[in-house]
Chains A and B, each alone.
Chain A
Amino acid sequence: MKIKAILTLIILIGVFGSTLHAQSSSAASPTMTLTVPQVATISVSNFTMGTSANPGNFASSLQGTVTLNYSVRVPQSGSPNAKITVQSAATTLTATGSASSTAPTVGSFQYSASASGTGVTATTSWQNLSGTTAGTLVSFAAGTKINAGTATANFKVADSLTYDADNYTLPLTFTISSQ
């Protein structure tokens, strides 16, 4: 009997001991912040409007197109005014042959655009190009997210008797904004 009682004691002590075995823990909760920004990129190549017909038909117009490659991510909140615009970067065209050549004016050029996609609206009617005010080619709705978009910008200029035979260049500025 004595032996059994002692065994019981030992077993109980063992259980008691294990319940008191200490475990300690501590926690930390650092904050993660993920900032997703607006995105607006655009690329465009040089393009040619074309060559006047010979013999000339002064009632015709020269027309050129260029592809705009862009990506955009527009905020959902607020009233974003995201768009692609075009503006002449010079007030006059530059003749490459003769400085005295009479060139078309910047205002005689017109532009329009075509594009597709959710939240994408193109200016499809012809608008006059300006050297002082940016004109909208494409506009984007709030929350629009486009990874690799394309839009086509169209330009035309009416031929005229007043223009001298020459090559003319006009720098254009295309701008995309996400807000």
Chain B
Amino acid sequence: MKRHLLTTLAALLIFSPRWAAGQARPQVLMPQVGIMAASGPGVSISTSGGVTFPAGNPTDQPVTPASASLIATVSISNPKNGNIWNLSLRSASSSFTGTTGAPISISNVHWAATANVTSGNGSVSTTSGQYLSTSDVVVASGLEGKTSPFTVQVTFTLTVNNSWNYDVDTYLQNLVLTATAN
């Protein structure tokens, strides 16, 4: 009973900021925890714009490349040396949708990515390209460096399988790019 009370008291004291501020030895530990939270990495992502697939005659052009590459820039402020960061990709929904045409499966879109570090001294590597899905797939990942900001530029090459089955229309769908830094 006495032992239990002592343990509980110790736990309460640990979570008490007042106690932390007023004590000598544990104070050494508590500020350390506080610093970790305050100086953790901050990640932001921006893209070069949208992606346009100007599909042509499927007989002449069975695979339609996007008119321009999609460039995603991931920037991590206060990177923590050696911690892992990553960028994942998915489609917001399973199909392109138009106004009158039948939906076109998003699985017809293929992506491939290249990446390079443009600022800082972390690392980046990309995974093999694949067809798009609604599940998050890690496109690029690496380790954060010491220098802030740590910035990586990921270039996506996107294509869509063209088909005679597609109806004449303009179809839309969103990609979802998520950058995470630990």
Contact = CB atoms under 8 A, between A and B. Distances in A.
A28 B177 contact: yes
Contacts of A16: 14-15, 33
A38 B104 CA distance: 16
A97 interface: no
Nearest to A146: B164
Interface string B39-71: 011111111011111111111000000000010
Nearest to A36: B166
Given A5-B10, A33-B172, A20 B166 contact: no
Interface in B70-85: 70, 72, 74, 76
A104 interface: no
Nearest to A147: B164
Max count, chain B CB within 10 A of own CB: residue among A9, A32, A38: A32
Contacts of B59: 41, 71, 147-148
B171 A25 contact: no
Interface in A23-41: 23-39, 41
B47 A145 contact: no
A178 B172 CA distance: 23
A109 to B, nearest CB: 32
A39 to B, nearest CB: 5
Given A33-B50, A35-B54, A36-B101, A75 B36 contact: no
B174 A30 contact: yes
B50 A32 contact: yes
Majority-rule SS of A interface residues: mixed
Interface string A136-168: 000000010111100000000000000000000
Given A34-B170, A37-B55, A148-B59, A5 B6 contact: yes
A71 B130 CA distance: 31
Contacts of A36: 55, 98, 101, 104, 166-171
Interface of B: 2-3, 6-7, 10-11, 14-15, 26, 29-30, 32-34, 36-37, 40-47, 49-59, 70, 72, 74, 76, 92, 96, 98-101, 104, 109, 158, 160, 164-182
Given A5-B6, A12-B10, A28-B47, 12 more contacts: A5-B7, A16-B15, A21-B40, A22-B40, A30-B49, A30-B177, A32-B96, A33-B172, A34-B170, A37-B56, A73-B166, A75-B168
